[in-house]
Amino acid sequence: MKQYNNVIYIYPDNVGFFSKTPKIFILLLIIILLSFKIIYSQKIKDYEFMRGDMRIMFYNVENLFDTFDDTLKNDEAFTPDGVRYWNNGRYYKKINNISKVITAIGQWELPEVIGLCEIENRKVLEDLIKKTALKKYPYRIIHKESPDNRGIDVGFIYRKDKFNPIEYEAIRVNFPFDENRPTRDILYVKGYNNYKDTLHFFVNHWPSRWGGQLETDRKRIFVATVLKHKVDSLFNSDIDPKIIIMGDLNDYPDNTSVLKTLDAKIYFENVNSEELYNLAYFLQEIKRKGTHKYDGEWGILDQIIISGSLLNNENEIYMTVDDAHVFDAPFLLEEDKHFIGKKPFRTYIGFKFHDGYSDHLPVYIDLHKN
């Protein structure tokens, strides 16, 4: 045996060492094989969570109010003297929590487009992108005040280095059968990404089930009708429009408002580019995921619905159903003491400050460039 540059060369007279100690040789071989297996498994894991060329997320952030009393809104509870004792400390903790979620979802590259609901006004969005870790990124805001009695709106933030808005519209929803209870607008944004793909976004927060599902069904069905009309106009005017609907619909993928009125398909065979497809159904029924827990049962109220053109991998930009995700990182969950398993780690439980994130989990999708 000779050594040269720290490399040991074994000559025939040394081979007897291995023949006399076969157990050591076998052990070394096993260690080498296991090392390759660990490395290979890690590569598969990394691939499974590989980020696409464009990441789009939606998050119901649970009552993101500022601390000021707006006399035109029913927001008194979220003030320092209100029943929730909503002060600056709690407010800034809240927006920093939201920025932590956005950063975690982005991994090494923060999301290009983010839809949000249960925000009070433009100010809270300004604070979110300018007074948290998000300030390092060139986020911009699209927002319109809704007529909702509580003063909560939907919002749209985007990275100006990754997305360029062309036009936007706050689509008003006026219930002819309940004019005294206005709801949130649907926020429509049209723009193009860095690859010159035109995208149509709709950010939603449909009426809640407060008062009972059956009693409030017609409101969500009405909103779905308004949205369906706008979507159909895009299908009629554009060739294979790339549509992304996101929001807290306060209904599940198989409820009438979503499945029948909006006509969002729940099966993905023979995809038609001029139909809508509900990725939330795949997440809920196939991946067994949820964004909200009610009476111990997980379900997906927070949905992303896309046009069939985005499911065509021959198009310049596309995705698959496996590119849809619920972000259920451990820090967003806590033990469910009343039911088994986990539940969302929320900001308030009733009127008690709980110092969490939200009563909903965020959802996101990845788009890929051919």
Identify the pLDDT of residue 90. 98
Q: What is the pLDDT of residue 77?
A: 94
Helices (H), the chain: 16-20, 22-48, 88-106, 122-130, 213-237, 256, 279-281
What's the Cα-to-Cα distance from 263 to each of 6, 10, 171, 231, 238, rounded to whole Å? 70, 72, 19, 11, 19
The pLDDT, as a whole number, for residue 180 is: 84
First to last CA, the chain: 55
Provide the pLDDT for residue 212: 76
Distances (CA, A) of 106 to 12, 77, 134, 142, 363: 56, 33, 11, 20, 12
Task: Assign 3-class secondary structure to 203-217.
Answer: EEECCCCCCCHHHHH
d(CA 243, CA 199) in angstroms, rounded, equals: 6
Q: Cβ(102)–Cβ(135) under 8 Å?
A: no
Six token digits for residue 184: 């949130």
If we measure between CA atoms, which residue out of 164, 165, 250 comes closest to residue 207?
Answer: 250
Q: Which two tokens stand for residue 286?
A: 């196939």
pLDDT in single tens digits along all 370 residues of the chain: 444 344 333 333 443 433 445 556 556 556 555 554 444 334 333 334 578 999 999 999 999 999 999 988 999 999 999 999 999 999 999 999 999 999 999 988 999 999 999 999 999 999 999 999 999 999 999 999 999 989 999 999 999 999 999 999 999 999 999 888 899 999 999 999 999 999 999 999 999 988 777 778 999 999 999 999 999 999 999 999 999 999 999 999 999 999 999 999 999 999 999 999 999 999 999 999 999 999 999 999 999 999 999 999 999 999 999 999 999 999 999 999 999 999 999 999 999 999 999 999 999 999 999 9
The structure tokens 């039911």 sit at 339
d(CA 227, CA 349): 32
* Amino acid 213: pLDDT: 78
Alpha-carbon distance 154 to 119, whole Å?
6
Say what the pLDDT of residue 181 is: 87
Position 179 scores a pLDDT of: 84
* Single pTM value for the model: 0.86
Give me the half-sphere count of Cα atoms (radius 13 Å) on the Cβ side of residue 76.
Answer: 4
How much is the pLDDT for 4? 34
Residue 324 phi, psi dihedral angles, 5° rounding: -100, 135
> What structural domains and CATH numbers belong to the chain?
2-45 (no CATH), 49-369 (3.60.10.10)
Inter-helix orientation angle 88-106/122-130, to 10°: 60
Q: What pLDDT score does 87 carry?
A: 97
DSSP state for residue 319 in the 8-state scheme: -
Q: Decide if 209 contacts 183 (C-beta within 8 A).
A: no
